Structure 1
Amino acid sequence: MSNNKESRLASISLLEGRSDEEKRELEKRCRWWRYKANEQILDKDSNDRDVYFVAEGTVQIVNFSMTGREIALARLHSGNFFGELSAIDGQPRSASVVALEDCLLGSLSPQLFIDQIIGHPELAVRVLGRLATIVRSCDERIMDLSTLGAVDRVYRQLLLLADESPVDPGSWLIRNLPTHKAIAAMASTTRETVARSISQLGAGNIVERKGRILYLRDRDRLEKLAGVLEEGFSR
């Protein structure tokens, strides 16, 4: 019976194409951890070198400014992984990681991770793709911080968070709208700026909030306000 049980690594995108048996064997070589929402998983500059697989839940990669303001770098949902930089270069952690909700994580030692990459070239290509994504994301963030005001960054973040409605094509909404603090961390600004920006958009009938859902009533106007149309911004 145990051989037929689905591996806790079944949904990990990095391992796509590996057999169920291979995933179960790799699962046995992982250490497993459970974290509660808002619990710290890793600290920046820590010497932990493991690679972590997100089997359940969502984590956030964060950094902090000199004044202690939280800056969100990425959100990783179940099926994702993190920690590959330290496993590859042997350096301390470049950022902190926090659980956004209850999580189940599997950690793999750096040597076992490297062994997997060497033995399975398709994994190496996926890791390279991840690293390329990180570089591009950093480039975009640097450009935004250099050229956009705080309010513009909030507008862009709302556009990035929005999904097209499955029941009303052409309509956009943000389900489970993050807190003002969380959006501020994503946009590298303050909670007050986020609250003021969303309030102004609501007054202009550009967005409408109902509970935890934010409806983008006029996405085109929001794009114009964010100055994204002429830059070829896409969602």
Structure 2
Amino acid sequence: MDKPKAENKLIVKAVTVKTPTPKPVPKPAPPSDSIVQVLTGIRLLKGLKPDELKKIATHCRYRRFSAHDQIFDRNSSTSDVFFVVRGRVRIVNYSLSGREITLDDVTQGDHFGELSAIDGEPRSAGVRSMTDSLIVALPRADFLEAVGNYPAMALNIMKSMAKIIRISTERIMDLSTLGANNRVHADLLRQALACKGEGNEAKINPMPVHGEIAARVSTTRETVARVMNELARKNIIERKKDILVVRDIERLR
């Protein structure tokens, strides 16, 4: 009697194929012909004629930065001037101990980098993008040519430099004459006056960050927190979600 033939069994193993995660495609920068329209919103270029803006636009290029990207470092040899189209960047320096000192925040419509473009010296401070930012860069040679050719732009530069000197003078006086608590008061007062509405009240939006105030006035976060809590107890300020309401501006003076 013949033995039954062994059945051939087909064994199929399941194989999991991993599909690679697609890399995010970066958003393209706006087309170059839109730079002219963008430049009309830059305060440094107010008063320039359309044909003058168009000539400047031919030398500009878009640059995109993510939050926390370093745009340039202190002592960098770069010399472009930058116009902020969208986002916010921070101008910073560092003490010998490494503590960060905030010099200014630059937002949509403002500019930075003009000092090195004017005198050809290395960067006097570093600049970091605080949010995703779209920026227009203008090379130094083209910036200087525009300043020389367009009186309105030259006047705007002088006004901008005067503002920097005034702010620096105020800060030097604060550091020389005020204690840490009063420097926090002075910083809040400057912010409140910048967004003051009708009456004696102001809404600071977004809510000031303790660490950022501390970096501006050369103190600690703990000191800022203590001063803010004291002002809240006195009903001078009130926290409302992402907004700081200054109830009585005069009491901050």
TM-score normalised by length of structure 1: 0.86
> Comparing 10-19 with 42-51, which one deviates more in the overlay?
10-19
Unaligned stretches of 5+ residues in structure 1 = 224-235
* Aligned twin of 1:35: 65
Residue 53 of structure 2: SS of its match in structure 1?
A: helix
Asked whether 1:120 is paired with 2:150, we answer yes
Of the three residues 186, 191, 196, the one matched with 1:164 is 196
1:26 maps to 2:56: yes
Q: Deviations over 1:132-180 (max 9, x none)?
A: 22222222211110101111111111111122346xx432221211211
- Preserved CA contact (<8 Å) 2:100 2:215: yes
For 2:33 and 2:79, locate their aligned partners in 1 and report how far apart those are by CA, in whole Å. 30
The structural deviation recorded for 1:21 is: 4.1
How many aligned positions are there? 220
Partner of 2:84: 54
Instruction: Give the Å deviation of 1:112.
Output: 0.6
Q: For 1:27 and 1:104, locate their aligned partners in 2 and report how far apart those are by CA, in whole Å.
A: 15
Change in 2 beyond 3 A, CA 1:121/1:189: same
Amino acid at match of 2:222: E
SS in 2 for 1:159: helix
- Aligned pairs (5 A) from 1:100-115: 100-115=130-145
Q: Residue in 2 aligned with 1:14?
A: 44
For residue 40 of structure 2, give the secondary structure of its aligned residue in structure 1: coil
Aligned equivalent of 2:93: 63
Aligned equivalents of 1:216 and 1:80: distance in 2?
A: 26
Decide which moves more: 35-44 or 19-28.
19-28
> Partner residue of 2:218?
188
User: What is residue 238 of structure 2 aligned with on the other side?
Assistant: 208
Deviation for aligned residue 1:55: 1.4
Query: Are the counterparts in 2 of residues 8 and 27 from structure 1 also a CA contact under 8 Å?
Result: no
Specify whether residues 209 and 20 from structure 1 end up closer, same or farther in structure 2 by C-alpha distance, changes over 3 A only. Answer: same
Cα drift, residue 5 of structure 1? 8.4
Residues 171-225 of structure 1, C-alpha deviation per residue, up to 9 Å, x if partnerless?
Answer: 22212112111111122211111111101111222211121111222333222xx
- In 2, distance between residues paired with 1:129 and 1:165? 25
Rounded to whole Å, the distance in 2 between the matches of 1:132 and 1:165 is 25
The one-letter amino acid paired with 1:23 is L
Q: Which amino acid aligns with 2:214?
A: A
Q: How far does the alpha carbon of each residue in 1:94-152 deviate from its partner, in whole angstroms, 9 at most, with x for none? A: 01111122211111111111100111122112112222222222222111101011111
In 2, the alpha carbon distance for the partners of 1:156 and 1:5 equals 38
**For 2:161, which of 99, 118, 131 is the aligned residue?**
131
Between the aligned partners of 1:135 and 1:25, the Cα distance in structure 2 is 30
Residue 146 of structure 1 pairs with residue 176 of structure 2: yes
Percent of aligned pairs with the same amino acid: 44
Partners of 2:33 and 2:154 in 1: how far apart? Answer: 28
> What SS does the corresponding residue of 1:214 show, helix, strand or coil?
strand
Q: What is the TM-score normalised by the length of structure 2?
A: 0.80
